[in-house]
Structures are given as structure tokens and as C-alpha cells.
Amino acid sequence: MIVNEQVAIDHGLKKDEYAKICKLLKRTPNITELGIFSAMWNEHCSYKSSRLHLKKLPTKGKQVIQGPGENAGVIDIGGDDAIVFKIESHNHPSFIEPYQGAATGVGGIMRDVFTMGARPIANLNSIHFGSPQHKKTKNLLRGVVHGIGGYGNCMGVPTIAGQTSFDSSYNGNILVNAMTLGLVKKDKIFYSKAAGLNKPVIYVGSKTGRDGIHGASMASASFDEKIEEKKPTVQVGDPFTEKLLLEACLELMAGDSIIAIQDMGAAGLTSSSIEMASKGNLGIEINLNKVPCRETNMTPYEIMLSESQERMLIVLENGKEEDAKKIFDKWNLDFAVIGKTTKTKKIELYFDDQQVADIPVNTLVENSPMYDRKWKKAKLPKKNKIKKEDLKNLKIIDVLKKVLSHPNVCSKEWIWQQYDHTVMGDTIQKPGGDSGVVRVHGTDKAVAASVDSSAVYCWAHPLTGGKQVVCESFRNLISVGAKPVAITNCLNFGSPENQENMGEFVECVQGIGEAAEYLKFPVVSGNVSFYNQTKDEGIKPTPSIGGVGLIKDYKKMMTMNFKEVDNIVLVIGKTEGHIDQSLFARNILDEKNGPPPEINLFNEKNNGETLLKLIDSGLIKSAHDVSIGGIITAVSKMCIKGNKGINLKKPKYLINEIEYFFAEDQGRYIIEVSKNSLKKVSDLLNKNAVHYDELGMINEDQLFINDKTKVSIDELRTSNTSWLTSYMSK
């Protein structure tokens, strides 16, 4: 094929980008070289619209071993142990082919983790779908859930937590964000930086096919009416092969033969070889005839751009090839010496004894485009004036039942029951709590993890929403007794070429950065997913935050279920009655305008750290953060989990019942305290200047409000658990 400007445009490149390629090469690229440039310069791989802003995020901390720039982030959890973790998107593939899209998303993120020498110990996910009434939503949900479960279950890795939401903005673009945690010894962490000259470059894993070609480019484009034509760009996963690959890699890593290792993810052999060469300031020469292929007559272009799954690229020490091959032969995996490191600082590809590509590495990496795109700053919306008479006419129990059964609040048990969340035997808090928790095997330590996002808040005001989602992650970890350590982010937005979308991204990142900096909760890994839109209609801005925290003694782990009758229930943090952008306002009052709740970072940090002291001192029985749906929703879930009731009383000095119970003011937690511990708890809260209200007392099985309104916990449970099961059964 003759390469020209139109061919470049068909590959997703802009006119000026193609002109830059020709200038850098001082010639017209051939089709293989053009394919390589299109893969490396697309949004998914180059971060050309985002990396200018991502540089502003805080990435360092006392426990950070590795921040952004590697396959995954790494944190120190004490002793010889470290946790490797990352979250990544597989949005476009999951919309086109939900089962394989979600499955290979899980497979890909697990490879990112075990590439660094870590054995995966937990999976999480953040999945977002269109309106439940939309014709595609149910099938997409079913396919994605089965894909996540199918791959993770076969790998034998528990799925310990997640988040699921529904919103009409995802009708044309669902989001599937997958996260994995792995455990590694600090002296056995592996990196992707190639080193040394004439070192053998090794291909291992599955054979290369034609699946997934242009997958990275497809992930960097908007959808149109030809979406079905994109199915060949979706990768096909084989979890059983990945399990073999995991064990083989970890066995090889037990020795001293590996110099560098990189999984073949987006853009396959292209990105893996170039990233290794770039980080090592070296060149790599590859003979494409030696790449194991499962299809006949594959071209250099196809081999380099294939995104076939379950493959790795390794740079070995000289003389270690035979020993390494024995390991991969034992696990029945392909092993091939396909090239070597060179001093040329080029990617040089050969096929049928001819050179088919000759590209300086720096043209693909350092000289890739970086855009300072124009963006619009969002204004903080004015507060709504909600009429008091509109609130007076509402029956609080009826409202509560509607909120508990809302798709974004209801129990997601139908989803997580399809995941194996106890395999490996170390899960000590399963899905459905504030965070999932796994023990660090053979120690008293446990690692907590959660995934959170707040598209509604980010849409209303991106800067505030960005802060909120970090704080939500912070609170979810603290609620189980974990000290928050670090976060990974998956930033899902519409087209960066749209100034409003770009503004949402810039300000969300700013908010994330401000909160992460203040809370000492650094960003150690992540992913940006742009072009989540069909034609000109994009999603609400949806940054997903995966938070990881440490519990030094897992016996002190906290759960949210109410424990004992006659214990006292307190709410930590002040309630001002912020209704705007609450689930109550949007779905009961049908009021979609107004600002999100204000974020006070001092209170977030102070309230959270004080609660950790209470948990560590053994002074509280249960805890749960207050988020979507407000105080009464949080309390109801604690009742349902513990099969206990509560006598609720609104503090006299505060606002009316509806505003108090359904407001979504931030920085709040519900805690359960025995009567004997109440004074110690109140003394510690007062000492640390933490506001609290006494909410009520736990009873056998009824939720009372001011002694005049009541509902059974069984009724609340039915409201909370029936919607999703009923929806998926029809």
C-alpha cells in the first residue's frame, strides 16, 4: 500500500501529525511504519491531550516505591512486602463486545500487575451503564458482568469490591474500569527498562493472531453508526492461558535472568518493544519471521499491531535462553528469541530478509505530540431554592424506600455473587461493604481497596467533583479501619477536542490533585480514556479512583453492620443540609441543577484520622461513610446488614427532617458505640474538634423516626435488594 495523507487520516492521525512524521523520518513512512506511528501517537498510548495536566498530580509519598511511568504503581506495606496496583479502562471494546471486552480488560490489568513480579491477590471494577430503560443496557450489563467473572474466576483471583452505576449519558458509551492488586517482595520487583547491548529479546505466551488490530486506535476515537464494524478490533481472551503465563513468569522471576519485562497490551508488540527501548535509551532489532503466529500469511503490519492477549516481551541476560525456555515449555507456552537490544536507539524490523521498519525510538516517544488544548472553566452553579412546602408533603418512609431501590443505591448482590470473591482464602471483607479487604497471607496485615466515582458531582462542577471522588475513596478505606496509602485513577471523559469536555478533564484533575496532596494520598498509577462519546454526545465526566489502604492488624478491621441492641449511633461530621445534586433532589424532586456539596479538606482529613484513632482504640462497633442518599440511607444499609433496627432522632437545632436525613454533605461517617464507651468516644471527638450528632439507639428490627414513623427492616431490605434481581430476571 502506498502511504499518503489520506491513508494516515484513515489511521487516526491528523494532517499535521502526518507531516511531522515525514519531517522526523525525512521521508514517507511505509505502511508498517505508519501503523506503528498511529499506534504510538494515538490518545490511548501517547496521552497527548492529557500528559501536560497529569504532570501536576502528586505522585510521591513515604510509602511509594514506584509512581506513574511503569506498568503499575507500587507501595510499601511494611516488612518485606509491597503492593502493586493499577486501574485501567476497557470502555470501547466492552460496548462493542461486552463479554470479551470486559474479560480482556480484566486480563490486561492482571498482566500489568504480574509483569512487575507480583502475584495478583484481588480484583475490583467500576462499571457504568446507560439508563435501565435503554434497549441495550440489560444485555451490556449481563455481558460485562459475565466477562469480568469469567476471566477473574478462571484465574483464581477474588473480585473483592466494585461500583456500578446507571445514567443516560452512558447510553452510547458504557465504562468498564478494571483494577488489580498484587503482592510482591520488595527485592523482587521487575521493571520494563531494557539494559545492556546484544541482549536477547524474548517473546512468550500465546501465539499472535489478527484479533485486536487497531484496538488502541479504536479506543482513541468516537463511535458512530458503523460501530458494529469495529468488532474485529476487540481482543479475545483466554484466562486459562493467562494462568499458565502467570505461573511461568513468576517461576522465571524467582531466578536472576530477567533484565526487563513488559506485557503486550495496547498496540501489542509495538508498544512493548518501543517502551522497553525508550526507557533503556537503547534500540531493539526484531526478526518478525520468528514471532509465533497462529494465522497464516500475517504481514509485518499485522504482527506489530495485533493485540492478541496473554503475551509478554522479555529482555534476558545472555546465556539464560535455554533455562528460560525449559520453564515455558513446561507450562506449554510459546517461547521464541525474536531479536536483540542494540546501540542504534532505533526500532528495526526485518521480515523475509528485508528491513520493513527503521524508526528512531525518540520520534515515537519523546517527539510524540503533546497538546495544550483549549478548555472552558466551569462556573459554580447557583443554589436551588427548594420550596419548604414541597418537602412537607413528602412521606419520609416512602422517599426512603424509593431511594434504597434506586439503581445507583440498590444492592448489587446479583453482580458480585457471580464473581468468586473468596478464592485464595484471604478475603476477610467481601463485596457490599465500604471496601474489600484481603489478608496479607502469613502476616497480621490486611490490604483494603475500593473504587469510587461521582459523575453527577463532576458534571455539576468538575473541580469540586474531582476533590469529592478522592475524599470518597479516603472515607471508604477509613470506614474499614485502613490507613489510606495511595490511589490509582482511571479518567473517563468525552472528546478532548471539545473545549467543555477538556475543561471538565482539566478541572477534575486539578481537584483530584488538590485533595490527594492535602490528604497525603498520592496517585501512583492510572489511565486516561478520552472520546467516550457517540457522534457529539459524550458521557458525564467520570474519574474513577481506586484507593488502597493498610490495616496493620486485620483483627481490628471494621464492618458496617450494626452489632448490638441498645448501642448508641452517632454521625461524625456536620450536616448543613446540602440537597443540590443529591440523589433525593435529582430523583424525588426532579431537580437536576445546583452545585455539588462543598468539600472541606481539613474536615475530611481531621474527621477521618480521628475515626481511625477510635477504631484502633477498639471504641466503636461498626462504621460506614455517608455518601449518596445521605444519613438515612447509610443508616438503613447498616440496619439491613446487621438485621437490626434503630430509633432515629433528628437533632433539634438543625434543619427539617428531609434535608437532614437525605442531604449529601461530605466528610461524614455513621458509627456505633456501646453505652460504656460513649464518654471516651465523645471526649476524643471533642478533643480533636470533630463535630458529631447523636442519631439514636439500636433496636431489634424496626426503623423509627422521632418515635412517630416506623418501618420494618425486612421492608427496607426488600426495597434495597429486589430491583436489580427483578430487572435482570425479565
Q: What is the residue type of 663?
A: A
Question: Who contacts 450 (Cβ-Cβ below 8 Å, separation ≥6)?
Answer: 124, 161, 434, 435, 436, 473, 476, 477, 546, 547
Distance CA 515, CA 517 (A): 5
Name the E strands within 200-245. 200-205
Placement of cell 526478526 in the chain: 287
Which helix H or strand E contains 544, and what residues bound it? strand 542-551
Distance CA 78, CA 90 (A): 32
Find, among 506, 667, 601, the residue nearest to 57 by Cα: 506
Q: With contact defined as beta carbons under 8 Å apart, do 116 and 71 qualify?
A: yes
Distances (CA, A) of 515 to 120, 318, 465, 519, 548: 28, 47, 11, 6, 15
Placement of cell 475543561 in the chain: 503
Q: Which of 53, 90, 128, 406 is catalytic?
A: 90
Distance CA 367, CA 77 (A): 37
What is the tally of helices (H) and strands (E) in the chain? 26, 28
- Helical ranges in 519-553 per DSSP H: none
Which helix H or strand E contains 124, and what residues bound it? strand 119-129
Q: Which of 11, 44, 406, 461 is catalytic?
A: 44
Distances (CA, A) of 264 to 68, 212, 276, 303: 18, 12, 11, 12
Cell of 15: 494532517
What φ, ψ does residue 210 adopt, rounded to 5°? -95, 5
Q: With contact defined as beta carbons under 8 Å apart, do 327 and 251 qualify?
A: yes
Name the E strands within 265-414. 283-287, 311-316, 334-342, 346-351, 354-360
* Active-site residue, 691 included: no
Reduced DSSP (H G I as helix, E B as strand, rest coil) percent helix, strand, coil of the chain, to 5: 40, 25, 40
* Active-site residue, 44 included: yes
Find, among 572, 574, 515, 571, the residue nearest to 547 by Cα: 515
In the beta sheet, which residues pair with residue 547? 450, 487
Q: What is the residue type of 443?
A: T
The residues assigned a catalytic role are 44, 90
